[in-house]
Amino acid sequence: FFPQTVTENFANVIHGLKASHLTDLVIQRSKRMILDTLGVGLLGTSTEVFHKVIQYSKIYRSDASSTVWGHSDFRLPPLYAAFVNGVAVHSMDFDDTWHPATHPSGAVLPALLALSEALPQKQKFSGLDLLLAFNVGIEVQGRLMRFSNEASNVPKRFHPPAVVGTIGSAAATAKLLALDQFKCKAALAVAASYAGAPMANAATQTKPLHIGNAARHGLEAACLASLSLQGNKQILDMESGLGAFYTDYTPRFLPTLQSYSWLLDQQDVAIKRFPAHLGTHWVADAASSLRKHLVESDDSVPISRIKRIVVKVPDVRYVNRPFPNSEHEARHSFQFAACSALLDGSISVQSFSDQNISRPELKELLSKTKLEHPADNKPSFDNLYCEVNVTLQDGKVFSERCDTFYGHWRKPLSTEDLKKKFHSNASSVLSVEATEGIIETVDNLEKVEDCFVLSAFLKGTQSTKVLSKMCLS
């Protein structure tokens, strides 16, 4: 009798999980994630980075084709559809964030939707199939991150979506394809050879590709595995396997299928209210509160009266940018978030336009801003806080602190606000009918007979009324 390896254990669980294992809470939370991810992705199709990857991917158009979100004029092969849609999801750093830190949904959902359209006609996937595969992809990511202490803090070396996201995408795809245990294992192993991207590309235009590639490469790994490609059967067990990406690595077994407990049950995601690095959300809330001390809501902040702004945050280098030069840098700047929120009262999609980034008032405020890193402010999304202190010329000091921003897992967005965010995002590229259609479909995902309706809404077809009728069985 051979003791089971962690890798084999993962393969068995991926293979063995059924819809009946999904709890109500997990279903509810994951549907919120799906809706938010779709909205964020649709909005993201208007970005420059998205346009570049579309141009690139169009080289490889062929008949086996899947939907590009927000585009009814052309389709792409599933691999490239997964890629571009994944890029769209992360293009503005507007997608969900989990603890330990990663962006779980963007690595998984685009791959599943792209694949669901590419398979032979008689093979259809229900909403429940999609929901289950989605959760397998999320769960695997969460479990892998618990293999190292390093993963609990804001990352410094490898960008987590590129590591665990790729494996998660492979697991989710393997589930949707109903691969047997051996092939599930192979999918994980092959995916590991695609994983990993350095942090230095965060805050650049290439960062969204980390999610796009995670989705696409995980999908590819599972497809290669389904064609019987094999890798190392102990890929998750070995230090020279997935352990290569971590300095401390202790793989663990998953719970037994008899009574499976999902991580999403115990630990929700954070949903962002504006498109920037999660750390900036604490800053925005603190700065917005502080602004109320300075002026009435509609008045402009008296910049010349401000002498100094101190923002107390954890030491996270890649979000420490005193004078961001591009939208990507602005989305990764504690300083920018503080000054934007002080100026405008809140941060929105528009805060990152070229015009707003280069406003003189903003630059003036930025020049008065500095960061401090108190020893008790840990670089962990579960523990960090932000304190903003503003000192006026006359010596008066105002201070506000945020421990938990609205949207964080400790203070989740209400259903209404989640839908509002989706509406605002989706309506930038879809009709009202399609937008409502997606909300309704995702809300009732467990009952959807064929999830192709979701893809049909996503590309924005005309006959949305027909589709609305079809989505409920």
Partner 1 sequence: MWTAAEETVTSSFASFIHGVQPEHLSEVVRHRSKRMILDSIGVGLVGSTTRVFNIALRYCQLYASNAVSSVYGRKGLKLSPTLAAFTNGIATHSMDFDDTWHPATHPSGAVLPALLAASQMLPPSSKPNGLDFLLAFNVGIEVQGRLMRFSTEAHNIPNRFHPPSVVGTMGSAAATAKLLSLNVTQCAHALAIAASLAGAPMANAATQAKPLHIGNATRLGLEAALLAARGMEASPLILDDIPGCSGFSAFYGDYRPKPLPLPASSHKFLLEKQDVAFKRFPAHLGMHWIVDAAASVRNLLINYSGSFSPSLIRAILLRIPVSKYINRPFPESEHQARHSFQFNACTALLDGEVYLNSFTDGCIHRQELMELLAKVLVEHPEDNIANFDKMYGEVALVLENGDVLTGRCDTFYGHWRKPLSRESLLKKFQSNASHVLPEDKVNSIITTVENLENLSDSSQLASSL
Give the torsion sign (CA, 331, 335, 337, 343).
negative
Q: Is 245 in the site for partner 1 (CB under 8 A)?
A: yes
Q: Is 190 in the site for partner 1 (CB under 8 A)?
A: yes
Residues 31-90 contacting partner 1, CB under 8 A: 49, 52-53, 55-56, 59-64, 77, 79-80
First to last CA, the chain: 47
Q: How far is CA 64 from CA 79, 116, 332, in A?
A: 10, 12, 38
Of 23, 72, 205, 468, the one binding partner 1 by CB under 8 A: 205
CB of 42 to partner 1, least distance (A): 22
Give the x-and-dash track for 278-317 against partner 1 (CB under 8 A). -------------------------------------x-x
Residues 103-132 contacting partner 1, CB under 8 A: none
- Record the tokens describing residue 391, joined without a space: 């000192």
CB of 189 to partner 1, least distance (A): 6
Q: What does the alpha-carbon distance between residue 398 and residue 136 come to, in Å, rounded to a whole number?
A: 47
Binding segment toward partner 1, per CB under 8 A, in 105-113, 202-210, 364-372, 392-400: 202-210
Nearer to partner 1, 143 or 328 (CB): 328
CA 407 to chain centre: 14
Residue environment code for 446-459, b if the CB has 16+ CB neighbours within 10 A, otherwise e: eebebbbbbbbbbb
The answer to whether 98 and 137 have CB atoms below 8 angstroms apart is no
Q: How far is CA 337 from CA 65, 87, 92, 243, 393, in A?
A: 40, 23, 14, 35, 22
Of 231, 279, 324, 345, the one binding partner 1 by CB under 8 A: 231
Binding segment toward partner 1, per CB under 8 A, in 120-128, 177-185, 234-242, 422-430: 234-242
Nearer to partner 1, 62 or 304 (CB): 62
Q: What does the alpha-carbon distance between residue 37 and residue 29 come to, in Å, rounded to a whole number?
A: 12
Nearer to partner 1, 4 or 55 (CB): 55
CB of 105 to partner 1, least distance (A): 20
């293999």: which residue's tokens? 147
Give the x-and-dash track for 136-175 against partner 1 (CB under 8 A). --------------------xxxx--x-------------
Q: Is 235 in the site for partner 1 (CB under 8 A)?
A: yes
Pick the closest to residue 191 from 207, 169, 160, 158 (CA basis). 169
Q: Tell me the three state secondary structure of residue 50.
A: helix
H/E run at residue 207:
helix 207-226
Q: What does the alpha-carbon distance between residue 246 and residue 50 come to, in Å, rounded to a whole number?
A: 30
Q: Is 206 in the site for partner 1 (CB under 8 A)?
A: yes
Instruction: Please count the other Cβ atoms lying within 10 Å of the Cβ belonging to residue 431.
Output: 15
Q: Is 197 in the site for partner 1 (CB under 8 A)?
A: yes
Q: Is 204 in the site for partner 1 (CB under 8 A)?
A: yes
Residues 410-439 contacting partner 1, CB under 8 A: none
Q: Is 229 in the site for partner 1 (CB under 8 A)?
A: yes
Nearer to partner 1, 34 or 163 (CB): 163
Q: What does the alpha-carbon distance between residue 275 and residue 103 come to, in Å, rounded to a whole number?
A: 13
CB of 95 to partner 1, least distance (A): 17
Enumerate residues 6+ apart whose C-beta is below 8 A from 464: 431, 433, 434, 437, 457
Nearer to partner 1, 101 or 342 (CB): 101
CB of 284 to partner 1, least distance (A): 22
Q: How many residues bind partner 1 (CB under 8 A)?
A: 60
Angle at CA 169, nearest 5°, toward 77 and 47? Answer: 60
Nearer to partner 1, 234 or 391 (CB): 234
CB of 220 to partner 1, least distance (A): 8
β-pair type (306-312, 369-372): parallel
2: exposed, middle or buried (Cβ count in 10 Å: 0-12, 13-18, 19+): exposed
Of 50, 274, 282, 318, the one binding partner 1 by CB under 8 A: 318
Nearer to partner 1, 22 or 195 (CB): 195
Q: Is 194 in the site for partner 1 (CB under 8 A)?
A: yes
Interface residues toward partner 1, by CB under 8 A: 49, 52-53, 55-56, 59-64, 77, 79-80, 156-159, 162, 189-190, 192-202, 204-206, 209-210, 213, 220, 223-224, 227-232, 234-235, 238-245, 315, 317-318
